[in-house]
Structure 1
Amino acid sequence: MMTMQKLEQKLQKADRKQAGLYLLCNFIALMLISAYSAMMFSPTVLTILPEGGDSRKQIVAIFILALFGCVIFTVYAASLFFRKKSRKLGILLALGASKRKLSPGLFREVLTLSMTSSLAGILAGFPFTWGLWNLFRVLIVDSSDMRLKFDFRCLTVSFLFFALTVTFSCATAYRCLRKTNIMDIIHEEHKNEPVREPKKYCGLLGILILFAGAVTGYNAPGVYMALFDAYPPAWINLFFAPVFAGLYMIMLHTVVHGWGFRKKHSYQHLISRSMMKFQGRQTANNLLVCTVLIAGGCFALFYLPMLGTGQILETQERSFDYAFHYRADQNVPTKQEILTLADNYGLKLKDWHSGEYLLLGLDGVVQVEDKPDSRAYHYEYRELKQQGKFLSESCFNRMTGQTIDIAPGCYRAVSNESETGTYYLELESTELTNMVTRAKTPIRFDGFVHNEMLLDAIGYYILDDADYEAAANKLTDEWRGNLLWFNADGADSYSFANALLKQFITGFNSECETIYAYDPVEKIAANENGNIYWGDTDEISKISFSNPDSYDFRAYWTYMPKIRILDQHDCLRNFSVFLMMFLFISIVCLTAAFVISHTRCQTIALNNRYVFDDLKRLGASPAFLLSEIRSQCGSVFKTPMLVGSSAMFLLYSLMMLGNDGKLTREESAGLLVCLAAVAAIASALYAVYRLTVRKVAQTLGVR
């Protein structure tokens, strides 16, 4: 005898494909969020990425995009599941079952599916992260900084997302049971969701709104700071909101009108376009989500070439293989000791150049917060603003082979050929301060000189010889420094370079165990004003001679030398955590976009299976049906890729241009590498598209 319970079980069994799809969607969404949050909270990552730095901000921004995409993905999966479930519920209601009697079984099934898939996804996120991270270590680069550690506070994000998923599933089930018309429930899965047909100019208007939103959002923080003398609040990011409106308009135009010119072939792919159009709301939402995820994946992936290309080019074009700078009171290896060490490695050295510089105080205007932890700030003049490293014009000419003549009472700053990235240089000083005698020397800025070997995060300046001698009067070795440059005679030796670096480091005392942001001039000024210098309390300013191979030491040590062969060979290792983190984020976002696109194509085809059956009965050839499948899947895959990657490439170009008003050669090379990365993503997407077309054709019985 067939009971209601057995009938429910049979209907659930008939729904196993839809249940499996729902399980898969929830599992993937929770796994990706769990994996991403595990990386964001990992001490391995947080130790390398400076707090408040651009890298962390970019990671958080991409996480918000991924979170937005996964939320829409799970909402869509739940809605699709209940659209298919509605027919079975309608049958039971038609057979006399009450909603009260059906609700326990329905909620039990929903809770079981959503909780099982979500918890499995959360748990799978950790081995997924660990496996992918260690695969990177094996295949790409490994270092002591890359031992992955988990901070299980990341589960807070995962369980919040879990709660959202379960709550929405239960709410959708309740909404489904609230319906009163049995026939509406039975035919729910066949209902279309067409959108009101937009005007033909909707797509172009959307593109304009997208660009306007990107430009407005990018410039809003700077405008806010200029108008209110305060750091911009979080709500300033709302100026990016038009970007999403523009994206939605572009997706809507794609679904309803498409982008081709069809005057001659107005009926071409009419069926595939109509299937997308009559489910326009769902399709537009999915295209929007995929566009956002692909944009986030490109944003993460673009970070890598923009980070590394400039350094690779700079390293290759140095005029010297070795460039050391150090305080004059430190016991570093002498020229003879370096030659002796080189002999041990069978290496000859040549082109020796040496010189000295002074550490002097520069005056200037500083930005000061009105109150602790306040957004508002004002500007104050300080006699001691920051340190600067000053060479005499004769020393500069001898070291570089150039011929410059500095006018008395003037100074020049050392920059690259394009004179970009000079934010750390003080170009408005009116006097120099001898930090021992406190004697003042009137001075004014008189332009730039160019030399790649004298670029660092503190900044070098050039003085007239007479002004240099006056500023150096009674200056102790603590405030003096030496330069030593030379080349390898023939092929260089990595082992020698590494040994020389270690020997060089052992010659420094603990006073030099500082990062380049630790400014002794700024420290003295703070202490004389009764304040505690930030560098004496902030952990970010601490590095250790005991760990000279760490990223922090190699990237931030004040006296880190430029050694071409080390910088070339260790580039990947030094930036390994950055590389792995952003590559991981890109894979997470792009995987989610690929899965959503694949699922959406199958859904459109399955929801319109009866259309393909009718076409077969009318005599449509397999080639025609396959062409319609390709057309439909092509729009789902192609549009998000074109819009997402193009928008992100444009944004990165604007960011590079906005930094200093021009694109340098290094930035242009990085953007070309970004284009190559887009081509690689497009190739992977095309492979998924081919797989999807084949899968949809098999499902619809098209051979």
Structure 2
Amino acid sequence: MMTMQKLEQKLQRADRKQAALYLFCNFISLMLISAYSAMIFSPTVLTVLPEGGDSRKQMIAIFVLALFGCTVFTAYAASLFFRKKSRQIGTLMALGASRRRLAPGLFREVFTLSTVSALAGLLTGFPFVWILWSLFRMLIVDSAQMDLVLDFRCLFVSIPFFLIVVLFSCITAFRYLKRTNIMDTIREEHKNEPVRELGRWCGPVGIIVLLIGAVAGYNASAVYQHLFSAFPPIWINVLYAPVFVGLYMIILHTVVHGWVQNKKNPYKTLISRSMMKFQGRQTVNNLLVSTVLIAGGCFGLFFLPMMGSSQLLDTKNRPFDYLFQYRADQNVPTQTAVEELAGQYDLDLKDWSSGEYLYLAMDGQEMFEDGRSYHYEYTPLLQGGKFLSESSFSELTGMDVDVKPGTYKGISNDEETGTYFMKLESELLTNLSTMSTCDTKFDGFIHYGLLVDQRGYYVLDDADYAAIKEGISDEYRGNMFAFNINGEDSYDFAYELFLAFMGSFTEDCELPIYYDPVEKYACEQRGETYWGDTDEMTQVSFDDPDSSDFRMYWTYMPKIRILDQNDYMRTYAVYLMMFLFIAIICILAAMVIGYTRCQTIALNNRYLFDDLKKLGASSAFLTREVKSQCKKVFRTPSIIGISLMFLLYTLIMFGNDGALTYSEVIGLFACAGSLLIVSLVIYAVYRLTVRKVKEELNI
């Protein structure tokens, strides 16, 4: 005899595919959020990414996007599950089962499914991170700094997300039980969600709205600072909102109208377009989330080729294999000592050259903060700069240069980019040992990329240099030497020389490049504590010369071609892994959303495909309709997300210096190559999805 309990169990078995899809969605969402939160809270990552730095801000911003995407995704999965579940509820209610009778079983099933899947995903996130990290260390690069350490404060993100998933599923179950119309409950899964049509103007206007939002959001901060002399509030980012409105309109146009009209055979795509339109609301929402996730994934992916191409081109084009700079009071290896060490590796040195520089204070307008507002005041001791004489520059580089008396020239690369850290408005130089001054003004650039760093090199007229040098102490005087290797270089020699050079410095030179003695002196004169003497400034240590912080930020870090080329991956390993992980998480989430949406299309339109079969539709015709549906789900967000992020990244590169440098152009080509790989991955998932949908529909 068929009891109500047995009937309920039979209906549950009939819906097992939908339950499996719900389990899969919850599992993937929690796994991705758990893994991402584990990464962004990891001390391994936080130690390398400076607090308040652009890299950490970008990491958090994309995490917010991923969190938003997974939230929408799980909410959609739950609503989809209950739309199918409503048939079971309505059938049992029609057979006389009361809501009170159905409630315990429904809540038990929903709570079990959501809890088990979400908890499994949460716990799987940790081994998922560990596996990816270990593969990166095993296949790409490994270093002591790459030891993965997890901070379980990340659970403060993943556990609330877990509770939201479970709570939302229970609330949705309660809402469905509250319905009174049995027929509406039974037919819930067949209800369409048509989206409101806005006409064919929707797509072109959406593009315009998107561009307006991008321009407004990108320039809003600069305009606000110019008008109000204050740091922009966080709400100013709301000006990016038109970007999402424009995206929605573009995707809506794609779903409802499409961009290409088949005037010769307008009915060819009638079935596929109608299926898409009748489920337009959820389709548009899903495609919007997928677009944002793919764009975020591309942003993370671009970090690798852009940084790599810039670094490799810089090291390749250097005129010297080795360049060392040091404070004059340090006892570094001499030319004889370097030659003796090279002899141990059967190496010969050539093109040895040297020079000296002075560390002088430069005047300018200093920013003083008052809460969110700020103002500028003139100060004769704004920041320090490294100044060479004409003769010293020529001796070091072999280039003849003529600097007019009373002026100075800045040293830049050939494109004159990356000079934002230099002071080009200074009119007064100060010797901090004697406090003697020299009136001067900026008079253009000298192109010599090897002497470009985050502090800035300048060249003075010989007479001005001699005058300002009078009485300066070794603390504010430095020396430099450079040389090439005659023939093939040796990494072992380069590394041993680097360690010997570093080991010759005293502890007071254990400083990052942004530690400025001029700023420190000015702060002490005002009775203030210099921020570089607090915990706010990232420190470097002689005990860890292979760390990313030391290699990137030590103020006397030498430029050694073979070392920089071979250790690039190790130096930037954590950066590369973090942004690669971001790309994997975002693109994987987008692919899961696309796969789930296509499965939904198959389940919701099963009856339509069955009717088409009865009317004599061939397998080829049905396959074409399936491909048409799946193609829009994958192709639309991929094209929009990839194109927008590539355009945005190009604008960011251009906006940094008002031009695209040669290395940036090469980097953008490398980014285009990485996009080809992403496109192939998306295409592979699309093919897999089509095959699965055809299996579901028995085509």
Alignment partner, residue 323 of structure 2: 323
Task: List 4+ stretches of structure 1 deviating above 6 A.
Answer: none
Say if 1:656 and 1:667, in contact at 8 Å, map to a contact too. yes
Q: Match for 1:326: what amino acid? A: Y
Unpaired segments of 5 or more residues in structure 2? none
Three-state SS of the structure 2 residue aligned to 1:208 is: helix
Q: Does 1:533 align with 2:530?
A: yes
Mapped partners of 2:160, 2:229: distance in 1 = 37
CA distance in 2, matches of 1:311, 1:272: 49
- How many residue pairs match? The answer is 699
Could you tell me which residue of structure 1 aligns to residue 94 of structure 2? 94
Aligned with 1:101: secondary structure? helix
Counterpart residue number, 1:405 = 402
The CA distance in 1 between the partners of 2:538 and 2:164, in whole Å, is 40
3-state SS in 1 of match to 2:216: helix
Q: Is the 8 A contact 2:531 2:537 kept in 1?
A: no
Q: CA RMSD in A?
A: 1.0
1:494-513, aligned counterparts within 5 Å? 494-513=491-510
1:238-280 Cα offsets, whole Å, 9 max, x none, are: 1111111111111111111111121112112221111111100
Match of 1:389 among 377, 386, 390: 386
Tell me which moved more, 166-175 or 122-131: 166-175
Equivalent residue in structure 1 for 2:428, among 408, 428, 431: 431
Rounded Cα–Cα distance in structure 1 between residues aligned with 2:232 and 2:144: 38
For 1:419, which of 409, 416, 421 is the aligned residue?
416
In structure 1, what is the equivalent of residue 575 of structure 2?
578
The separation in 2 between residues aligned to 1:260 and 1:64, in whole angstroms, is: 35
Check whether the contact 2:342–2:349 (CA below 8 A) recurs between aligned residues. yes
| CA distance in structure 1 between the aligned counterparts of 2:330 and 2:647, rounded to whole angstroms | 48
Partner Cα separation in structure 1 for residue 571 and residue 56 of structure 2: 18
Number of the residue aligned with 2:207: 207
2:664 aligns to what? 667
Match of residue 73 from structure 1: 73
For 1:556-592, what per-residue CA distance to the aligned partner results, in whole angstroms no more than 9, with x for missing partners? 0000000000000000110000010000110011111
Aligned counterparts of 2:394 and 2:609: Cα–Cα separation in 1: 80
2:185 counterpart residue number: 185
Counterpart amino acid of residue 550 in structure 1: S
Alignment of 1:323-342 (within 5 A): 323-342=323-342
TM-score by length of 2: 0.99
Which sections of structure 1, spanning at least 5 residues, go unmatched? none
Corresponding position of 2:26: 26
Alignment of 1:301-700 (within 5 A): 301-370=301-370, 374-538=371-535, 540-700=537-697
1:629–1:696 Cα contact (<8 Å) kept:
yes
2:282 alignment counterpart: 282
Task: Supply the distance in 2 between the matched residues of 1:597 and 1:463 (Cα, whole angstroms).
Answer: 62
* Per-residue CA distance 1:276-310 (angstroms, 9 max, x = gap): 11100111111111111101100111122222211
- Counterpart of 1:155 in structure 2 is 155
Aligned partner of residue 198 in structure 2, secondary structure: coil
2: CA distance between counterparts of 1:34 and 1:224? 37
Instruction: Supply the distance in 2 between the matched residues of 1:596 and 1:430 (Cα, whole angstroms).
Output: 59
Partner of 1:246: 246
| Residue pair 1:424, 1:457 contacting (<8 A) in 2 also | yes
Shift of 1:4: 2.2
Q: Which residue identity is paired with 1:312?
A: L
- Within 2, Cα distance between the matches of 1:690 and 1:114? 29
SS in 1 for 2:363: strand
SS of equivalent residue, structure 2 residue 357:
strand
Q: In the TM superposition, what whole-angstrom CA distance separates every residue of 1:451-501 from its partner, at most 9, and x where no partner exists?
A: 011111111010000000001001111111111000000000000000000
User: Aligned equivalents of 1:44 and 1:119: distance in 2?
Assistant: 25
Amino acid at match of 1:495: D
- 1:481 is aligned with what amino acid? G
Preserved contact between residue 408 and residue 464 of structure 1 (Cα < 8 Å) = yes
SS in 2 for 1:383: strand
What is the rounded CA distance, in whole Å, between the counterparts of 1:100 and 1:365 in structure 2? 74
Task: Check whether the contact 1:517–1:541 (CA below 8 A) recurs between aligned residues.
Answer: no
**What do the CA deviations read for 1:370-428 (whole angstroms, capped 9, x no partner)?**
1xxx2111111111111110000111122222222111111111111111111110111
SS in 2 for 1:128: helix
Shift of 1:539: 5.1
> Does structure 1 conserve the Cα–Cα contact (< 8 Å) formed by 2:408 and 2:441?
yes
Give the Cα separation in 2 of the matches to 1:411 and 1:154: 52
Which moved further from structure 2: 49-58 or 537-546?
Answer: 537-546
Question: Could you tell me how far apart the structure 1 residues matched to 2:387 and 2:195 are?
Answer: 68
Q: Which residue of 2 aligns with 1:224?
A: 224
The amino acid of 2:610's aligned partner reads D
Question: Alpha-carbon deviations, 1:430-468, whole Å to 9, x = none?
Answer: 111111110011111111111011111111010000000
Identify the range of structure 1 (133-142 vs 8-17) with the bigger mean alpha-carbon deviation. 8-17
Q: Which amino acid aligns with 1:619?
A: G
Contact kept, 8 Å, 1:363 with 1:430, in 2: the verdict is yes
Aligned residue number for residue 36 of structure 1: 36
| Equivalent position amino acid for 1:614 in 2 | D
8 Å CA contact 2:413–2:447 kept in 1: the answer is yes
Match of 1:124 in 2: 124
Cα offset, 1:83, TM superposition: 0.5
**DSSP-derived class of the 2:197 partner:** coil
Alpha carbons 1:514, 1:541 under 8 Å: kept: no
- Partner residue of 2:233? 233
AA aligned to 1:522 is E
Contact 2:351 2:483 in 1 (8 A): yes
Residues 518 and 541 in structure 1, CA contact (< 8 A), matched pair in contact too: no
Deviates most, 88-97 or 172-181:
172-181
Query: Structure 2 counterpart of 1:131, which letter?
Result: I
Secondary structure class of the residue paired with 2:537: helix
TM-score (ref. length: structure 1): 0.98
**How far apart, in 1, do the equivalents of 2:669 and 2:648 lie?**
14
For residue 165 of structure 2, give the secondary structure of its aligned residue in structure 1: helix
Between the aligned partners of 1:183 and 1:239, the Cα distance in structure 2 is 46
Q: Does the CA contact (< 8 Å) of 1:360 and 1:432 recur in 2?
A: yes
Q: Distance in 2 between matches of 1:300 and 1:453?
A: 29
Of stretches 342-351 and 108-117 in structure 1, the one that deviates more from structure 2 is 108-117
Instruction: Measure, in 1, the Cα distance between the counterparts of 2:683 and 2:363.
Output: 58
Report the Cα distance in structure 1 between the residues aligned to 2:401 and 2:541, rounded to whole angstroms. 39
Instruction: Read off the aligned partner of 2:64 and give its amino acid letter.
Output: I
Which is further off, 478-487 or 226-235?
Answer: 226-235
The equivalences for 1:107-146 within 5 A come to 107-146=107-146
**What residue identity is the alignment partner of 2:180?**
T
